[in-house]
Amino acid sequence: MRNSLIILGCLLAGILGGISGLTPSVLLHPNAAVYVLDVLLLLVGIEVGANPRVWEVLKDQNARILLVPLSAALGTLLGVALCASVIPGVGIKEALAVGSGFGYYSLASVLIAEIGGKSLGVVALLANMGRELATLVTAPLLARHFGRLAPIASGGATAMDTTLPIITRTVGAEYAVMAVVSGAVLTLLAPVLITALLH
């Protein structure tokens, strides 16, 4: 939560700096963000690769667990595709790319801004941040009415970190591994789907 506020603060500071024209123009150079983005993806990979639970699952015989992230991904894409048909000015590809952030707003927004344009990047940031927020707030409600997988699915990629505490508190610690696995799969799927959709 605190992290989301800092991220929003960074965005606002940047917007104000950009409007006022006080920020040095070198920051607007298109390559500036690309280099940092490469470093970021490298770092995200390191964190996933170093997570022992990710590798445990690969050795695990029970592949059924992969149904959880797959159903979360499928549901997300169906949901945003449906939305795209009612929002003027948002194409289905763009909507699918935003949805493919799976709540991983930081990565999704910068990646989408880079290859899909600034406006879509802002939409991706807000929509995916909203997803994390919605999960934090409604997890108990979702679990009660839609089953124990619902908060894990709603959390998307964040089920492995920021929304993990509320998920385990709501549906029980025995679902922690499932949440981490689902989050990790969606974390990896997000950049792959986004680049595939917008390229």
Partner 1 sequence: MQVLLFLAIGILAGYLVRSKRGLLAAASRATTWSLYILIFLLGVSVGANEAVVRALGKLGVQALILCAGAVGGSVLVSCLVSRVFFRAASNAK
Q: Interface with partner 1 includes 199 (CB under 8 A)? A: yes
Q: Interface with partner 1 includes 167 (CB under 8 A)? A: no
Q: Interface with partner 1 includes 79 (CB under 8 A)? A: yes
Count of C-beta atoms within a 10 Å radius of residue 110: 18
Q: How far is the CB of 156 from partner 1 (least distance, A)?
A: 7
Q: How far is the CB of 13 from partner 1 (least distance, A)?
A: 6
Q: What is the dihedral of CA 99, 103, 107, 112, to 10 degrees?
A: 20
In angstroms, the CA 165 to CA 93 distance is: 33
- Contacts with partner 1 by CB under 8 A: the residue count is 102
Q: Interface with partner 1 includes 44 (CB under 8 A)? A: yes
Q: Interface with partner 1 includes 4 (CB under 8 A)? A: no
Give the Cα-Cα-Cα angle 109, 162, 168 (nearest 5 degrees).
145
Q: Interface with partner 1 includes 33 (CB under 8 A)? A: yes
Binder of partner 1 out of 108, 116, 136, 156 (CB under 8 A): 156
Count of C-beta atoms within a 10 Å radius of residue 125: 22
Q: Interface with partner 1 includes 53 (CB under 8 A)? A: no
In angstroms, the CA 186 to CA 199 distance is: 19
